[in-house]
């Protein structure tokens, strides 16, 4: 009888130790599959069109533009600059541009199509709702190349 009890205890101990090793193996396998955190990178673009200048800087993490700046300096017109927050969907940047105009904070949607190292600004019919201007239909935007921004080194 003692032999049966001792054998049962040894067998139970063996089974418990095997189960414990398997659990530890599963934990380390999960640790190996932890996603690598995406890095943040900055990109800068500049467009010079006769006497007009447009510049854009983007701080990108994955497909999100979590901060950026956009500046329009049109000849003999008020400078217009503000911040960008948006998302990259394929080769297209959709962003909200928040800027000051005549002492009032405004928000408007901007869309840029990326081709290699160039962003081309899109235009289309605009609606306004709750003091935000946005495109009626982003699928009908025109990217005719009137404003295009080439990639440049970012100033530190």
Q: Find tokens 């329009």 and name the residue.
A: 72
State pTM to two decimals. Answer: 0.73
pLDDT tens string 95-136? 999 998 777 889 999 999 999 999 999 999 999 998 899 999
What value does the mean pLDDT of the chain take?
Answer: 81
DSSP string across 35-77: PPPPPEEEEEEEEEETTEEEEEEEEEETTEEEEEEEEEE-TTS
The helix (H) or strand (E) run that includes residue 124 is: none
Domain ranges of the chain: 1-34, 40-152
Neighbours of 57 (CB within 10 A): 19
Q: Indicate if the pLDDT at residue 13 is higher than 80.
A: no
pLDDT tens string 21-31? 444 444 444 44
């Amino acid at each position: 009888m003692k032999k049966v009890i001792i054998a049962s205890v040894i067998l139970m101990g063996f089974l418990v130790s095997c189960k414990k090793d398997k659990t530890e193996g599963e934990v380390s396998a999960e640790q190996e599959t932890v996603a690598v955190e995406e890095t943040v990178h900055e990109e800068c673009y500049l467009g010079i069109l006769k006497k007009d200048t447009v510049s854009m800087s983007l701080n990108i993490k994955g497909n999100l533009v979590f901060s950026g700046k956009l500046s329009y300096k049109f000849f003999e017109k008020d400078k217009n600059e503000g911040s960008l927050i948006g998302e990259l969907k394929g080769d297209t940047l959709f962003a909200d541009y928040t800027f000051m105009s005549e002492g009032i904070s405004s928000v408007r949607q901007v869309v840029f199509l990326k081709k290699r190292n160039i962003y081309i600004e899109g235009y289309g019919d605009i609606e306004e709702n709750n003091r935000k201007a946005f495109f009626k239909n982003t699928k009908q935007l025109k990217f005719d190349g009137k404003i295009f921004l080439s990639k440049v080194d970012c100033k530190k």
